[in-house]
Structure 1
């Protein structure tokens, strides 16, 4: 793996590692999956990405495991990157389907497993993956305090939580929460629609908790957007029966990519990054070419005009905003 110098930026791209490690079965990963991970990491570094996002459940732990093998085989790599992982979801354990667990013992156990698979002494950021209705916030605070005191976790964030849920957790913590990871894209727009559909009947079509973006901005939490590339819907992954809106949005993405001399991926990510909430997109593809194609997103975010930004939104909606 060659040396890279990642550009510094307050607003960044994040590489999401959920696609690494092979299948979601119990079958062990192979050397080909390690090679795939190495190629994805290389491409991400080429694109200026230094934050890598994991979760203990991704590919049943295999995503972290193959990443750990690459780290072990690449001297100096750990010092050049930041690692983020999540805990709080159990997949089909103890005879019941997937469920949530943010108990003290579960947090400590799961973080320990992640560190072992990643072959590192600490993660830079730990995210609590999903809200657990049985959460004892005092237990969470105790577990996080222990992990930070032991140097195993350096910062804490959340995923899929509302502003009210974050505030309730923050009230029990001695450290500030640094991030909230949500599904946000040109396709999944509930976060955006909620901003303009106040006092409008159409608001009932969207469940996104109003005020969450504003809470994160006011309290300094980075908004991390997973699913940011919309699974290629607007950049070549043609569905069997595309809607008129999907076709129109894909056409406009291609036109803007041509205008700015860049990729469709960069246009999609730039559209997210132009929002004043300072969104950090998470890139989930394992295709090295598509990963590298994202590198230009910051430039596109700065170049997109207000008309072009709204044009993409309205095209994807398939109807005018109120």
Structure 2
């Protein structure tokens, strides 16, 4: 699989990340086959969060991959923290305790990447900086990033945090592309021109922060997938047409659409289906033309001024 550098770091990562939020839906043998298939396809970047399955997803993954020192050096582990029941928490104490729990469940001594999951309105960036410093100096975390944060929130962190912010995990798909459409419809009087995120896509590109699109097949906020959905007839017709041209599935084209963007994104796929996993990975070998990218964009109902 093709690789990119994660943000400004020297860490080389696959262009497709394997999300493990639903691995607790698999039995032991299925989970083992899933992670082994991913590794065989070169997809060795696994995305976790301490809240997935209440922590059980990390435990299941560690057992499924038969975690040991040799296995650990062959994979890249990312996890997230900061979401608690009824609140968000970026306090130093919570971050440190969360990482200890993550490491224990994953049966490892370190994370390659730690992301702060959702913005904490009560964040004290000085505390985050202290937590990151302690985690880096102890060797527990090697790289740091955020999730669902806008440019000013990242800038606030960067004022105090000395480690580079290497990734920002954001919701993005063909049908949830406001961070793209706002940039196309600058100064226009239509809904697509509304800038909802402070030009976060451009900000991340300017600051060497890798955008990690989550829910790349979803429309709305977990309302369902757009592929094969009667609500999106034109989009599916166009995707199927282009998929036929390349001899791949519609799943492959949906991921290839994200990879075609010059921001060098790293989509996080959440499927636990082996065939769809492999279809997502195949997107690494498909480069859509500019015309095809825009045809898909317009077929989703996005407008050009």
TM norm. shorter chain > 0.5: yes
CA distance in 2, matches of 1:9, 1:209: 25
Deviation at 1:211, TM superposition (A): 2.0
TM-score, with structure 1 as normaliser: 0.85
Alignment of 1:288-307 (within 5 A): 288-300=274-286, 302=287, 304-307=288-291
Match of 1:247 among 227, 233, 243: 233
SS of residue paired to 1:296: helix
Q: What's the C-alpha RMSD, in Å, of the aligned pairs? A: 2.0
Ranges in structure 1 where 5+ consecutive residues have no aligned partner:
1-5, 23-31, 92-97
Partner secondary structure for residue 293 of structure 1 = helix
- Distance in 2 between residues matched to 1:187 and 1:273, nearest whole Å: 15
Q: Please state which structure has a larger fraction of its residues in strand.
A: 2
Q: How far has the Cα of 1:234 moved from its partner?
A: 4.1
Q: Distance in 2 between matches of 1:79 and 1:43?
A: 17
Q: Which residue of 2 aligns with 1:313?
A: 297
Aligned with 1:154: secondary structure? strand
Give 1:207 shift. 5.8
How do residues 1-322 of structure 1 correspond to structure 2 at under 5 angstroms?
A: 8-10=3-5, 12-22=15-25, 33-72=27-66, 76-91=70-85, 98-203=86-191, 206=194, 208-230=196-218, 233-236=225-228, 238=229, 242-243=230-231, 246-300=232-286, 302=287, 304-317=288-301, 320-322=303-305
The C-alpha deviation readout for 1:33-83, integer Å capped at 9, x for no partner, is 333322221222233211100000001111111011123367732111100
With structure 2 as the length reference, what TM-score do the two structures score? 0.90
Deviant stretches of 4+, over 4 Å = 6-11, 204-207
- Between 1:127-136 and 1:41-50, the stretch displaced more is 41-50
How far apart, CA to CA, are the structure 1 residues paired with 2:256 and 2:151? 25
Shift of 1:164: 1.2
Q: Deviations over 1:179-233 (max 9, x none)?
A: 0000111121111111122222324785631321111111111110111133873
